Homo-oligomer: A and B are copies of this chain.
Amino acid sequence: MLTESENALAEAVLIHGPISRSALTSRLGLSAASLTRLAKPFLDTGLLVELDDVVDGSVGRPTRPLDIAPDRGFFVGIKITGDTLHAVLTDVRAALVDSFTRPLTSADPSSVVADLRAAIGDFDGDIRGIGVSLGGSVDDGVVEFAPFLDWHDVPFAAMLAEATGLRVTVENDLVALAEAERWFGMGRGLPGFSVITIGEGIGYAVVAHNEVVRTREVGAGLGGHIPLAANGPLCDRGHRGCAQAMLTSGSITAQVSGALRRTVGYDEFLTLTAGGDPAATAVADAAGEALGRFIALAANLTMQPATVLAGDGIGLFTVAEPAIRRAIATDRDPLADPIELYIDEPGFTAWARGAAAVAIQSAIATLSFGR
């Protein structure tokens, strides 16, 4: 295990590297002498490397930045839904190397272990750790409850670790996504922000004081039923105009399909809206307004002006940005800091990268120098 300062150093270099020792003194609140001392064992074991001197034209000795060694193996991140696994292979900074999606044989835990083991075996490279994320509540590697898989108290991390012989970290999908944004994504360097995902479902997470808020609520999938539009459609629980009803891809395609009297998928909805189809545009504008209101509410109530949007459905942002911005402007106090909006990539990779990110965090925290 690392000391607190060693851990802070490894984390800072991983997130902000390449970075010089002198820049790290102010970031970590340590003396230059301590940085020399702390960096040494990392350089000896090869986890960190010194890059060439950087001469920036200013007076004084050039800096010799530290960085994470590029060849320290790979990490696997796997997001499990009810019937599918999305897997990515990443480097130590959670950058994508390889990825694929395949169906689960069944939702039975040991069957899922077998599917995941096979998936991991299909990646090439020196794998240092596995992260798994799923919708549900997770405590210390045990899946307490996962509604889409119908799991209760499944010690999944231990099961997969035994099957693969690798370090396994299991985490709630939204916590993992928020951790990935905080360390490697749009939220890097921000002390706090909120994360909103739209797609088949609605996801929500909060970071404050440089930490992801982990209450039992995260696993319960809150945020999905926040009321956003007074006249919107009903969701399956009878809420009018809630986030589920306004923003899930299923609800949006149902509205467009109903208006056009034929089945329209989400991609076609985006194409129709971009092409100016009136029915699709009306739905997109209503959804955009709801999303803008959601963003503004989250920023106002978390007091964090930064918001990260992610999920399969964020193609909506491209076709409804004016409506989104308009709703934000309406619901956001003009005296408040303007909302900083970060848009992640669509698709499943963001989710699986989240899983890889928690595996990387876990690997960093448990590093040792052979002591």
Q: Which residues of chain A have a CB within 8 Å of any CB of chain B?
A: 192, 194, 204, 206, 208-209, 211, 213, 215-218, 220-227, 230, 293, 297-298, 300-305, 331, 333, 335-337
A305 with B217: CB separation less than 8 A:
yes
19 CB-based A-B contacts, threshold 8 Å = A192-B213, A194-B301, A204-B301, A208-B208, A208-B213, A209-B211, A213-B302, A213-B303, A217-B300, A217-B305, A217-B337, A222-B300, A222-B303, A222-B333, A223-B301, A226-B300, A226-B331, A230-B230, A302-B302
Contact of A217 among B194, B206, B331, B336 (CB under 8 A): B336
A301 with B226: CB separation less than 8 A:
yes
Interface pairs A-B: 4 shortest CB-CB? A230-B230, A208-B208, A301-B301, A220-B335
B213 with A209: CB separation less than 8 A:
yes
B215 with A300: CB separation less than 8 A:
no
A215 with B335: CB separation less than 8 A:
no
Nearest Cβ on chain B to A114's Cβ, whole angstroms: 30
Nearest Cβ on chain B to A184's Cβ, whole angstroms: 21
A192 to B230: give the CA distance in the assembly, Å: 30
B303 with A218: CB separation less than 8 A:
yes
A211 to B208: give the CA distance in the assembly, Å: 9
A204 to B206: give the CA distance in the assembly, Å: 17
Residues of B within 8 Å of A223, CB to CB, are 300-301
A305 to B213: give the CA distance in the assembly, Å: 12
Q: Which residue of B lies closest to A208 (CB)?
A: B208
Q: Point out which of A223, A227, A303, A305 has the most chain B C-beta atoms below 10 A from its C-beta.
A: A303
Residues of B within 8 Å of A302, CB to CB, are 206, 213, 301-302
A69 to B175: give the CA distance in the assembly, Å: 43
Contact of A336 among B208, B222, B293 (CB under 8 A): B222
Residues of B within 8 Å of A218, CB to CB, are 303
Q: Which residue of B lies closest to A219 (CB)?
A: B335
Known pairs A300-B222, A337-B215, A337-B216; A227 contacts B305 (CB<8 A): no
Q: Which residue of B lies closest to A216 (CB)?
A: B337
B222 with A305: CB separation less than 8 A:
no
B208 with A333: CB separation less than 8 A:
no
Nearest Cβ on chain B to A241's Cβ, whole angstroms: 9
A304 to B215: give the CA distance in the assembly, Å: 7
Nearest Cβ on chain B to A120's Cβ, whole angstroms: 32
B333 with A225: CB separation less than 8 A:
yes
A142 to B237: give the CA distance in the assembly, Å: 50
A304 to B335: give the CA distance in the assembly, Å: 26
